[in-house]
């Protein structure tokens, strides 16, 4: 054997050793599977995520730890991959841990071919996005509650306005425009002082702002002034 051949074999061995270490210590779950979907290799991240040992996973088809409702969708993509109808696929899918816990993952799967372009092995990489999905669900619920709140405020019979931290009006409901005479366009961007009348002494407003700035809720009756100058009494909560 020549020196060049020896160096080539050594380099190949080193490359395989490095690739195996990368596979084993990768921070995301990685698995290799055959054409039937049975796992050939599973790295430690996948074992940790699903709660199985590598030996246990290597006896399983990926459908066995896939949530029942997600099996059909992925199996169809898997078959398209084998038939050459696609080179890879990515999807969200739920996995069932050994202890029964459900995880949501973002899975990417590709087909590795040999030098003759024949299917050789399927590689899958998955990232646990359970926390992200839960956060998205909380955000959707929050937006839904905001929409319900906005609907309630829009149909309220009392005047409602919302300001920013500087006291600039950002939003008013229809009752506000009906009671005050100011249109939405006229009110937004203004300070609530546009409603101020001369019916209250300075001490009244000083007590009001002292109460608000201390973080407490103020409830009382204001004598406000409409756009046309007429006065009206309004019980307010600020």
What residue ranges define each of the domains in the chain, with the CATH number in brackets?
3-134 (3.30.450.20), 147-237 (3.30.450.20)
pLDDT at 125 over 60: yes
Query: CB 222: neighbour CB atoms within 10 A?
Result: 20
pLDDT at 95 over 80: yes
Confidence of residue 200 (pLDDT cuts 50, 70, 90): confident
Q: What is the pLDDT of residue 15?
A: 66
How far apart CA 164 and CA 168 sit, in angstroms, is 6
Residue 157 phi, psi dihedral angles, 5° rounding: -85, -15
How far apart CA 46 and CA 24 sit, in angstroms, is 10
Q: What is the pLDDT of residue 2?
A: 43
In this structure, what token pair is assigned to residue 72? 């059909």
Confidence of residue 13 (pLDDT cuts 50, 70, 90): very low
Per-residue pLDDT, averaged over 208-237, amounts to 87
Q: For a pLDDT cut of 70, what percent of the chain falls above it?
A: 94
Beta bridge partners of 236: 220
Q: What is the pLDDT of residue 1?
A: 47
Least-confidence region, from 30-34, 75-79, 111-115: 111-115
Q: What is the pLDDT of residue 47?
A: 97
How far apart CA 12 and CA 49 sit, in angstroms, is 31
How far apart CA 31 and CA 47 sit, in angstroms, is 10
Q: What is the pLDDT of residues 130-182, one digit of tens each?
A: 999 999 999 999 999 999 999 999 999 889 999 998 889 999 999 999 999 99
Q: What is the pLDDT of residue 12?
A: 45
DSSP characters over the chain = --HHHHHHHHHHHHHHHHHHHHHHH-SSEEEEE-TTSBEEEE-HHHHHHHT--HHHHTT-BGGGGB-HHHHHHHHHHHHHHHTTS-SEEEEEEEEE-TTS-EEEEEEEEEEEE-TTS-EEEEEEEEEE-HHHHHHHHHHHHHHHHHHHHHHHHHT-SS--EEE-TTS-EEEE-HHHHHHH---HHHHTTS-GGGGB-SSS-HHHHHHHHHHHHTTPPPEEEEEEE-TTS-EEEEEEE-
Least-confidence region, from 93-107, 150-164, 203-217: 203-217
Instruction: State the Cα angle at 192 between 175 and 224, rounded to 5°.
Output: 65
Largest CA distance in the chain: 106
Q: What is the pLDDT of residue 14?
A: 45
């Amino acid at each position: 054997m020549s020196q060049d051949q020896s160096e080539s074999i050594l380099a190949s061995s080193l490359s395989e050793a490095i690739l195996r270490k990368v596979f084993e210590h990768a921070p995301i779950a990685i698995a290799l599977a055959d054409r039937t979907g049975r796992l050939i290799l599973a790295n430690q991240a996948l074992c940790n995520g699903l709660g199985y040992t590598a030996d246990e996973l290597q006896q399983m088809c990926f459908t066995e730890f896939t949530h029942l409702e997600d099996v059909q969708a992925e199996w169809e993509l898997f078959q398209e991959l084998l038939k050459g109808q696609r080179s890879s696929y990515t999807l969200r899918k739920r996995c069932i841990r050994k202890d029964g816990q459900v995880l949501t993952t973002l899975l990417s799967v590709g087909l590795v071919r040999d030098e003759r372009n024949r299917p050789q092995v399927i590689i899958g990489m998955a990232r646990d996005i359970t926390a992200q999905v839960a956060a998205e669900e909380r955000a959707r619920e929050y937006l839904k509650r905001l929409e319900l709140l906005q609907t309630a405020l829009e149909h309220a019979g009392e005047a409602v306005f919302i300001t920013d931290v500087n006291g600039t009006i950002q939003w008013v409901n229809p009752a506000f425009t009906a009671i005050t005479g100011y249109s939405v366009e006229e009110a937004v961007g203004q300070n609530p002082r546009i409603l101020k009348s001369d019916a209250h002494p300075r001490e009244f407003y000083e007590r009001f702002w002292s109460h608000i700035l201390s973080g407490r809720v103020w409830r009382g009756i204001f004598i406000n002034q409409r756009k046309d100058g007429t006065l009206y009494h309004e019980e307010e909560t600020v």
